[in-house]
Amino acid sequence: MAAHMTIAMIAFVAISVLFIVGLLVTMHLRHRYQPNLIGALIGALLCFILLETLPVLM
């Protein structure tokens, strides 16, 4: 079961990174940077990763 959780976590992180990079590229092309949005996205991703991986590791 842990292997499935690991694969799912890696897939989620990969999709999230692609989404965040796409958002940053779009903001760069439009010359509209919103640091609050970037910080909120990164914080939400890290929070989710911590909440999901800590129980698996312990």
Tokens of 43: 């914080």
pLDDT in tens, 11-39: 877 887 888 788 778 888 888 777 787 78
The mean pLDDT value of the chain amounts to 77
- Residues of the chain with pLDDT > 70: what percent? 86
Question: Who wins on pLDDT, 4 or 39?
Answer: 39
The whole model's pTM is what?
Answer: 0.56
The whole-angstrom separation of Cα 54 and Cα 57 is: 5
Measured at the alpha carbon of residue 54, what is the angle toward residues 22 and 41, in degrees to the nearest 5? 25
Tokens of 23: 């958002």
The whole-angstrom separation of Cα 22 and Cα 3 is: 29
pLDDT at 27: 80
pLDDT at 57: 63
